[in-house]
Chain A
């Protein structure tokens, strides 16, 4: 894509700004014949938060796992580039990648109950990256782990260090998960649907907690979410994914206020808001990975699709400070 450089408005408009923390260029991920991620472009600056929004199966979680290097060859085939702090991640040796994981890049899983090892105490699991990456001594690790638990709002952390995951509530487990991910003050935090496995009543608390911690540590964060409104509320910028592609990306307020891509519009109208008269579901389903349309992947479900849509892929265009991939941006 020739226009790739121009796709990053900040870089073009503000040459004085610091180099991006993360730069994803033309990134594709194939699993055998299936193209799971297709030509993804993203830029994340230090301190920025980005929401990856889309239906399940859009490739959001896959992108997160690829970023932290848990989906690599030979399991999957990668193309394009992932640059983190100037380092090309796709070419990184496994041993070097391991030094980033849990250290410079943290990952919060969707379901803490499943992501915490049932046979180890939460203290042991929080202390693990402290030992691995910071080389802290046993007692320093305990102190740090307790402090971390305190910082994610777990009461009486000293007592809970030796608790096993099943002895904590779901909300507490997710707090532990957050403490693990933030243990080494990562520069990039990936949060994969961090609240969707929790009760509605504590979802907001946990979201707030993650945002607070990220701001305090001055880290950048990528939130994988399926809720456009929530994403727009918590993130500086939003990238809407559909079937492995980013269809629209830009500042949250603008994307939410005036979505340009028909899919983003569809997503927005799915959001139930007080006072809204009706809910418009998007007709149809995401096509299976082995039967993706040749042109725009959204074309079969798009209300505005014309002949060209099913024949040729729309290239990303800069429009109103956003990148949008659609033939008919109005």
Chain B
């Protein structure tokens, strides 16, 4: 067991190293010379060499990487050329919570709508509910979230005036205002997930309901709702979590678009603005952070498996 855990740990560390190396490589590949950018238009060769030396850019690449990594781990991510803001503060303390809140709310909406839809579709297979659920699943999965966001803004923000159109209020500062502002973005991003969750719930539940242990639960006198929601759904959680984990890339894709459409100051917005401003150091922070997020979620999904499926638990 110790071996298994340490192997997992070593593997994770390796991936983290690769993520950091990729992020470092990105900055090296980025066009433009950081020294001349920092010095502005007018500088002498002497001051150029001096800054190059101060930044350690005259050292071998491996050393540069080591120094960069050490700074990164310490939270010294540099300062934005444009806003003069500390990048660690910008990325981790300001942008990340926004993106995480948006993702969590969207996932919540998707689960609350998607699971019952999937269950109904499975229970009333080939009925109109099933057709509707399947249609929603395919439509919601394919509909580009940035266009959906625009439509929602138009309908519910501008036309009906039910929700604020732009801007972000942190739910941890003003809970209800925050939720109100995040409503349309969360629906936009959640819509993409609803279909997926409904679909996987439907197919997994259909498979589970055909298992002998479901018949056995009925033979014990368990009522129908308990057979489906307790005995059945308990076994559906595993494939559900798998898919949610696998689709994290799609989730982040949608989050970037949604943030830009609704002008939410999240990671996606940060990276987009930084790319447009050619602030590669901020882009790099965004890349590194999403990479870390990816690794963390994959680890979490792995851990959830063991929690959800007793057969995978080590004793």
A and B touch in the complex (CB under 8 A): yes
Instruction: Name A residues whose Cβ lies closer than 8 Å to a Cβ of B.
Output: 65, 68, 70, 98-103, 106-107, 109, 111, 114-121, 125, 128-129, 132-133, 164, 166-167, 177, 180-181
Query: Quick check: B218 and A118 within 8 Å, CB to CB?
Result: no
- Is B18 an interface residue when CB atoms closer than 8 A count as contact? no
Q: Which residues of B contact A111 (CB under 8 A)?
A: 212
Query: Quick check: A132 and B221 within 8 Å, CB to CB?
Result: yes
Q: Smallest distance from the beta carbon of A304 to chain B beta carbons, Å?
A: 39
- Is B309 an interface residue when CB atoms closer than 8 A count as contact? yes
- Is B222 an interface residue when CB atoms closer than 8 A count as contact? yes
Query: Quick check: A117 and B231 within 8 Å, CB to CB?
Result: yes
The answer, among A101, A125, A177, A181, for a CB contact under 8 Å with B218, is A101
Query: Quick check: A118 and B221 within 8 Å, CB to CB?
Result: no
Q: Which residues of B contact A65 (CB under 8 A)?
A: 215
Query: Quick check: B221 and A164 within 8 Å, CB to CB?
Result: no
Q: Given the known inter-chain contacts A101-B220, A120-B234, please indicate yes or no for A167 contacting B315, CB distance below 8 A.
A: yes
Query: Quick check: A129 and B216 within 8 Å, CB to CB?
Result: no
Q: Which residue of chain B has the shortest Cβ distance to A130 in the bound complex?
A: B220
Question: What are 24 A-B residue pairs whose CB atoms fall within 8 Å in the complex?
Answer: A70-B219, A98-B221, A101-B220, A102-B219, A102-B220, A102-B222, A106-B219, A107-B219, A109-B219, A111-B212, A115-B215, A117-B231, A118-B235, A118-B310, A119-B235, A119-B308, A119-B309, A120-B234, A129-B220, A129-B221, A166-B311, A177-B216, A180-B220, A181-B219
Query: Quick check: A117 and B213 within 8 Å, CB to CB?
Result: yes
Query: Quick check: B309 and A109 within 8 Å, CB to CB?
Result: no
Q: Smallest distance from the beta carbon of B16 to chain A beta carbons, Å?
A: 33
Q: Smallest distance from the beta carbon of A37 to chain B beta carbons, Å?
A: 18
Q: Smallest distance from the beta carbon of B9 to chain A beta carbons, Å?
A: 26
- Is B211 an interface residue when CB atoms closer than 8 A count as contact? yes
Query: Quick check: B220 and A128 within 8 Å, CB to CB?
Result: yes
The main secondary structure of chain B at its interface with chain A is helix
Query: Quick check: B216 and A115 within 8 Å, CB to CB?
Result: yes
Q: Which residues of B contact A101 (CB under 8 A)?
A: 218-221
Query: Quick check: B221 and A99 within 8 Å, CB to CB?
Result: yes
- Is B223 an interface residue when CB atoms closer than 8 A count as contact? yes
Complex CA gap A119/B234 in Å reads: 7
Complex CA gap A114/B213 in Å reads: 6
Q: Which residue of chain B has the shortest Cβ distance to A184 in the bound complex?
A: B221
- Is B217 an interface residue when CB atoms closer than 8 A count as contact? yes
Q: A102-B219, A164-B310 are in contact. List 6 more A-B contacts (CB 8 A).
A: A65-B215, A109-B215, A117-B213, A117-B216, A118-B213, A119-B308
Complex CA gap A269/B213 in Å reads: 36
Q: Smallest distance from the beta carbon of B35 to chain A beta carbons, Å?
A: 60
Q: Which residues of B contact A98 (CB under 8 A)?
A: 221-223
Query: Quick check: B217 and A117 within 8 Å, CB to CB?
Result: yes
Complex CA gap A125/B231 in Å reads: 10
Query: Quick check: A115 and B221 within 8 Å, CB to CB?
Result: no
